[in-house]
Chains A and B, each alone.
Chain A
């Protein structure tokens, strides 16, 4: 641990709190106007590195015999393109497929920062740079995952309106999924009661759609955030055990290695799920009901 912590009593809660505190700096008045520099710097850096690498390969992409680098990039390209093709049946190349590629690679890279050993990174990289708090995993910041989910949410509404028109979108808000009331002349008493009650369908439809529109970005962002945050916390707990003595260190190392290996699956899986949900939501926005 860093030396400044040696002065205070190093308790398990202070250790965990220290590793879960963002490098937040105020950019204005009020609690909202804070900026988590660690999340922003790490995510932008990773975005630039990952997409820059892909771009560097794509720039000199040849239709002839590909280089090994191009073959690798094409493997990823083909994987993402195949997934999008199965879900979205429109012109995917103009927007949705490249978006899916961005989401997949960026989230994968951000998730993969979880493999950096927190204490080693802090001791040898962040503390020497004068950074008291620095969190390496941008996706364990709810702001990052929610920003992504919210961006997808806005895209969803944008495509809904673009495909169906503003009127079509509003019609769908009130008339789907349970259907719209019929205003034909009633032929029986039951029909008359139905006619009186049928405007309730508008309410039911709208309530259903409202819940869907609220739950989509929440589940989308919280799933990723929860997985990555939990992964980080488990690394910290293993780190705590490692601090208890020689036995703890040995078991901590074994468990840490085990959790790291299992976490590779979670990192890749969560990135994949996030991409798939992005594609599914955007594809659903293109469908008319």
Chain B
């Protein structure tokens, strides 16, 4: 176990091995590991970001839903109001129309009554003349008395 030239040879071998590791072994491993670490860190950050974005979106959708509900109930309320309004209007119209028809019918009835009265009047006067003629044929002048009867009939 004495020191000899092997010492120098081994030192050179050691130097070459160190150089090789520094140059060719360490850098690719370091790059691979550091890149992976960065990728994982980025992935985690992205996941966190996505989570918060999801929260925001959920809040937003809830707000939109509420707004829509409110609007829908508003619209329904308006529609109900308008519906009852229409019904009221229709009722009014129908009543007016009914009244009008009733009034027309009443006028017609009055007219009919008047006409019937006219007819009756004419017939009554004719009957009265015919009866009076039969009764009074012998003693009454038809001409002088028909004028008097006509006046009587006009008084009916």
Chain A: residues with CB nearer than 8 A to chain B? 24, 27-28, 31-36, 39-40, 43-44, 47, 51, 54-55, 58-59, 61-64, 66, 70, 73-74, 77-78, 93-95, 97-99, 101-102, 106, 138, 141-144, 146-148, 150-151, 229
Contact = CB atoms under 8 A, between A and B. Distances in A.
A55 B25 contact: yes
Contacts of A54: 21, 25
Contact of B26 (A33, A101, A106): A101
A88 B85 CA distance: 89
Contacts of B26: 58, 93, 97-98, 101
19 contacts: A27-B5, A35-B4, A35-B5, A44-B13, A51-B25, A58-B25, A62-B32, A63-B36, A63-B39, A73-B29, A99-B18, A101-B21, A102-B17, A102-B21, A141-B6, A147-B8, A147-B10, A151-B14, A229-B1
Interface residues of B, number: 32
B37 to A, nearest CB: 9
Given A55-B24, A98-B18, A101-B26, A40 B32 contact: no
B152 interface: no
Interface residue SS majority, chain B: helix
10 nearest A-B residue pairs (beta carbon): A63-B35, A147-B10, A143-B6, A98-B26, A61-B32, A34-B4, A147-B11, A36-B6, A98-B21, A102-B21
B17 A106 contact: yes
Nearest to B12: A147
Most B-side CB within 10 Å, residue of A78, A150, A151: A151
Nearest to A225: B1
B22 interface: yes
Interface in B33-68: 33, 35-36, 39
Nearest to A32: B4
Given A24-B4, A99-B18, A40 B10 contact: yes
Given A101-B26, A147-B14, A151-B15, A64 B36 contact: yes
Contacts of B36: 63-64
A142 B1 CA distance: 6
A32 B3 contact: yes
Contacts of A95: 22
Nearest to A106: B17
B33 to A, nearest CB: 6
A86 B120 CA distance: 137
